[in-house]
Amino acid sequence: MVPNSSRQANTVKAATLLGLFKQNQDGVTAVEFGLVAAPFLAFVLGIMAIGLQFFTINTLDQAVEKASRKIRTGQAQRANMTLGDFKNLVCESGGSYLQRDCNNIYIHVQNSGDWSDITPTACATNGQMTTQANTTGAVSDSAGGGSQVVLVTVCYDWTMPLKLPYLQYILMRPADGVPLVSGGSLIQSVATFRSENF
């Protein structure tokens, strides 16, 4: 009989402890925060990552538009600017944000007499960035003279996601779907216009 009463006493103690545990409200906030903290931080970091990516895209777009204006008005051609000079102009137009990573920017400039005759250059093929033909060549060789249809394509191998791991989940892939060999994200900006009759 002793063992039965001992079991009953243990059962009563366990039930009492369970009841006390259910009634105790200490630490509920810590437990709730523990459950919510990880998804909340992932959400906040995701918003920051997307914001940084949009900032980079906007910065590149503005830089390409500002630099391309020199080609559109003929200033680049009259100044005998090279494609390397034009690339530096794009980087300078993007401020210090693009200047520190200018080696990962590739410029493609094409011209034609008609809109239908111009074909865009792919920024990447099979994970490799398409390099610009000749950085020492004159812009006038690629952009042509006045009243030409000009396509300026700027490709940026954005390597920031390599430094911030959570950015790797929102990478922008090239059109062929193959990730860049560098592990970065492809950002492309294009300016198309008919140059002025200079």
Whole-number pLDDT of residue 168: 67
User: Does pLDDT of 1 surpass 60?
Assistant: no
Whole-number pLDDT of residue 105: 94
User: Does pLDDT of 138 surpass 80?
Assistant: yes
Task: Break the chain down into helix, strand, coil percent, rounded to 5.
Answer: 55, 15, 30
- pLDDT tier for residue 171 given thresholds of 50, 70 and 90: low
- pLDDT tier for residue 24 given thresholds of 50, 70 and 90: low
- pLDDT tier for residue 110 given thresholds of 50, 70 and 90: very high
Whole-number pLDDT of residue 133: 61
188 in Cβ contact with 153 (< 8 Å): yes
The residue among 179, 182, 177, 178 whose CA lies nearest residue 162 is 182
Calculate Rg over the CA atoms of the chain: 30
User: Does pLDDT of 2 surpass 60?
Assistant: no
Q: How far apart are CA 92 and CA 136, in angstroms?
A: 18
Whole-number pLDDT of residue 48: 87
Percentage of the chain modeled with pLDDT above 90: 42
The predicted-structure confidence for 51-91, as pLDDT tens digits, reads as follows 888 999 999 999 999 999 999 999 999 999 999 999 999 99
Q: How many CB atoms lie within 10 A of CB 29?
A: 9
Q: Which residues pair with 185 in a beta bridge?
A: 158
Whole-number pLDDT of residue 30: 78
Percentage of the chain modeled with pLDDT above 70: 81
Question: Residue ranges of the alpha helices (H) in the chain?
Answer: 2-23, 28-72, 75-78, 83-93, 95-99, 139-143, 160-163
Q: Mean of the per-residue pLDDT values for the chain?
A: 85
- pLDDT tier for residue 174 given thresholds of 50, 70 and 90: low
The 3-state DSSP class for residue 92 equals: helix
Instruction: Kindly state the tokens that stand for 24.
Output: 């105790």
Q: How far apart are CA 101 and CA 63, in angstroms?
A: 14
Q: Which residue has the higher pLDDT, 12 or 49?
A: 49
H/E run at residue 183: none
The residue among 125, 188, 182 whose CA lies nearest residue 154 is 188
- pLDDT tier for residue 93 given thresholds of 50, 70 and 90: very high
